[in-house]
A and B are shown apart, each in its own frame.
Chain A
Amino acid sequence: MENLVRLSVSDFIALTNQTLEYAYQSIEIEAEVASFKVNQNKFVFFDLKDEESTVGCFMMVYQLRVPIEDGMKVIVRGTPKLTKWGKFSITVQSVRPSGEGSLKKSYELLKQKLDNEGLFAQERKRTLPLLPSRIAVISSTGAAGYRDFIAILDERWGGIEVMVAHVQVQGEVASDQMIRALRYLNELEVLPEVIVMIRGGGSADDLACFNDEQLVRAVAASRVPVLTGIGHEVDESLVDLVADMRASTPSNAAERLVPDRRDMTERLRQTSGFLHRSLIRSIDELARGNQVKLQDALRHIRQSLDHSQQRLESLQSVMIAYNPQRVLERGYSIVRGEMTAGKIVTIDTATHHITAEVHNVEKR
């Protein structure tokens, strides 16, 4: 006789789920989304379909990291499950767009949503410190982009304490790891002055983790200013848009973070030259000022001397004019003695001294 197992419906469903779980711990399905809807702002339902088949999917809203809509091609990771109502569906752990078209569509939808919230507004952008001394880097230490960043940083500037949070920078877990790193760095007792998010170039799918809504919000919420250097110049991620400053590449991030020590040395030399010229100019000005004062003093002395000379000459002229000898030379004579008849008088002319006797004196 056949050994049949008799089960209740609940047991049957439980056994089926156990079997499914054993057989498919986690599966990935790539398909097109149909009948996408969100109930009570909590529960997400949609179908995955291809040309021949359809399967229902269920997930919570908080698990939905990128916008999804009907017609979009996605990759769903989840577990097959039979519900207690006997309906077969996939309980979704994660969903991400697949293919260039879907990635672009999802990107545009989320960009519009976050832009409407003002997350990309210019007024939110903070200025990075001019010369940071303590920075944090979120990147994969094995990545070429990280090595480029550190090499350019070392070449340009020194004395910076660089803390590196090693995370995956592509794949499904990358966004969560970067979010955890951001939170960790924002909770440090001594905060870094800047957080730099670095990743080298890659395909749109490789860079898709930088378009994760929760990661974008974590960057927006960071207490520490964030600088990004993700992909190549042409790549633009939502994390780039929300960051306080966006560099085009990892190397460019290092260039934007610190000045070049060679430029600084040149500027120092220019400063030194300027100070030297200022000092010399000031000394020259002082010397010129003193020379002018000296010349003024000399001129004053000369003028005073000239004046004295003129006065002396004038006095000399007067003296000469009053000299009795000059009068005598003009024919006059000086008579000394008593003007009485019989008395002896002396007469001085210009050329002779005469002694004479007075014969007669009459009043004129």
Chain B
Amino acid sequence: MSKNDNISGRTISEKLALLGELTAWFESDEFSLEQALEKYADAEHLVKEIERELTELRNKVTILDEKFAS
């Protein structure tokens, strides 16, 4: 994933999972400085995006039309 990839369609849960993967990569044996800069930029982009969503997102409450009285 690079920050240019479209992540806007993903849920906050998916974004958090992606961030978790990136963080794990930094702690893994696959870590290399060549890729680290790009991955760090991706992670920072995700962090900002999730923070923004956490601030802006509202729940959508719908009262069902269905009547449950007999």
Contact = CB atoms under 8 A, between A and B. Distances in A.
Query: Is chain B's interface secondary structure helix, strand, loop, or mixed overall?
Result: helix
A173 B37 contact: no
A222 interface: no
B36 interface: yes
Contacts of A157: 57, 59
Q: Which of A154, A159, A165, A178 has the most CB of B within 10 A?
A: A159
B33 A165 contact: no
A275 B64 CA distance: 45
Interface in A118-150: 130-131, 133, 141, 150
Given A184-B68, A271-B19, A271-B23, A162 B40 contact: no
A180 interface: yes
A261 B68 contact: no
Interface string B1-31: 0000000000111001001001100110001
A168 B68 CA distance: 9
Contact of A159 (B37, B44, B51, B59): B59
A166 B12 contact: no
Contacts of A131: 12-13, 16
Contact of B47 (A158, A268, A279): A268
Interface string A247-287: 00000000000000100110011011011101100110010
Contacts of A264: 50, 54
Contacts of B50: 264, 268
B33 A159 contact: no
A315 interface: no
A150 B68 contact: no
Interface string A161-176: 1111111100001001
A311 to B, nearest CB: 42
A178 B70 CA distance: 11
Interface residues of A, number: 41
B53 to A, nearest CB: 7
Contacts of A275: 22-23, 26, 40, 43-44
A163 B68 CA distance: 14
B68 A180 contact: yes
Nearest to B50: A268
A173 B70 contact: yes
A157 B31 CA distance: 33
A177 B69 CA distance: 6
A48 B36 CA distance: 80
28 contacts: A131-B12, A133-B11, A133-B13, A158-B53, A159-B11, A159-B57, A160-B59, A161-B59, A161-B60, A161-B62, A162-B60, A164-B62, A165-B64, A177-B68, A184-B64, A184-B66, A261-B55, A268-B50, A271-B47, A272-B44, A272-B47, A274-B23, A275-B44, A276-B40, A278-B26, A278-B27, A279-B37, A279-B40
Interface of B: 11-13, 16, 19, 22-23, 26-27, 31, 33, 36-37, 40, 43-44, 47, 50-51, 53-64, 66, 68-70
Closest 9 CB pairs of A and B: A158-B57, A159-B57, A131-B13, A177-B68, A261-B54, A180-B68, A162-B61, A160-B59, A278-B26
